[in-house]
Amino acid sequence: MKFKKIVLSLFVIMGVFANAQIIGEDYSKEILRKETLMGISLNTNGYGFDMRLGKDKSYFRKQVWEFGFSVKKHPKEIKARNPFYINSKDFVYGKINKFFHFNAAYGYQQVLNHKPYWGGTEIRYVLFAGANIGLSRPVYLYIIDYVPGTYESNITLERFDPDLHNVDNIYGRGPILKGFDKLKPHLGVYTKAGFNFEFGSDDRKHRSLETGVAGELFINPVEMMAFNKSEFLFISLYLNFHFGTRRDYY
């Protein structure tokens, strides 16, 4: 009986101590309801940048608006160069269109493990869904135009045509801004899910890594490479780094 009383007393003391620890930890942390973040992203099919606006809805959940810009890369993209010209420029053979898109998404973060008041790592899972506006831009290349019956040639700027252009008559990539007058829109939807790991001891500064899977579905297909099917759906793994600030005012 005496042993049971001792054990019971220990449980009561531990419970009071744990409760005091939780309360002390809660009161020692500032209540910072809003955050503004900037981020960079590496995907298995490209890269991008984004901005997030977050607001705490409860102790465990945060609502987030995300606005991003991404550039898509095709897995078969390989840089080449004409070996017969010393000053030739690199180009991606077979690339018909460059593709990039803007997205706006709404989502939330659910806390799985809160960060201790002295620092450490806070773990959340994240879900986002929203809309995409994609733009495809035709690729222009400098083409070597040989003059028949002579050893002379001219270099002209032309839109890439896989039936006419090859490694031997391509001099190099064209100007970066060429083709913007022929942009083609692609509307679609966007979603992603993953895990967010926030680290650091200063609650007013945000630093986090996030990893997960993202999916983008477009109404009209996107043609990026010659001799490959146009794609409606893009699925990728991503790794984000976000940094920014938190505040307790509106």
Written as one string, the DSSP assignment of 171-236 is EEE--TTTTGGG-EEEEEEEEEEEEEEEE-S-TTEEEEEEEEEEEEEEEEEE--BTTS--EEEEEE
Average pLDDT over residues 79-106: 93
* Domain co-membership, 121 together with 200: yes
Predicted local confidence at residue 201, as pLDDT: 78
pLDDT band at 222 (very low <50, low <70, confident <90, very high): very high
On whether residue 150 sits in a domain, the answer given is no
Span 135-187, pLDDT tens digits? 999 999 999 998 887 777 899 999 999 999 988 899 999 999 999 999 999 99
Predicted local confidence at residue 28, as pLDDT: 52
Report which of residues 225 and 201 the model is more confident about.
225
On whether residue 159 sits in a domain, the answer given is no
Tally of structural domains, the chain: 2
Please give the torsion angle defined by the CA atoms of residues 147, 148, 149 and 152, in that order, rounded to the nearest 10 degrees: 20
* Domain co-membership, 106 together with 185: yes
Domain range for 2 is 1-30
* Domain co-membership, 26 together with 138: no
* Domain co-membership, 8 together with 76: no
What's the whole-number average pLDDT of the chain? 86
The b/e string for 87-119 (b: 16+ C-beta within 10 A; e otherwise) is ebeebbbbbbbbbbbebebebebebeebbeeee
Candidate from 7-21, 96-110, 154-168 with smallest mean pLDDT: 7-21
* Nearest CA-CA partner of 184 in 104, 114, 247, 100: 100
* Domain co-membership, 60 together with 1: no
C-alpha–C-alpha distance, residues 178 and 164, integer Å: 19
pLDDT band at 9 (very low <50, low <70, confident <90, very high): very low
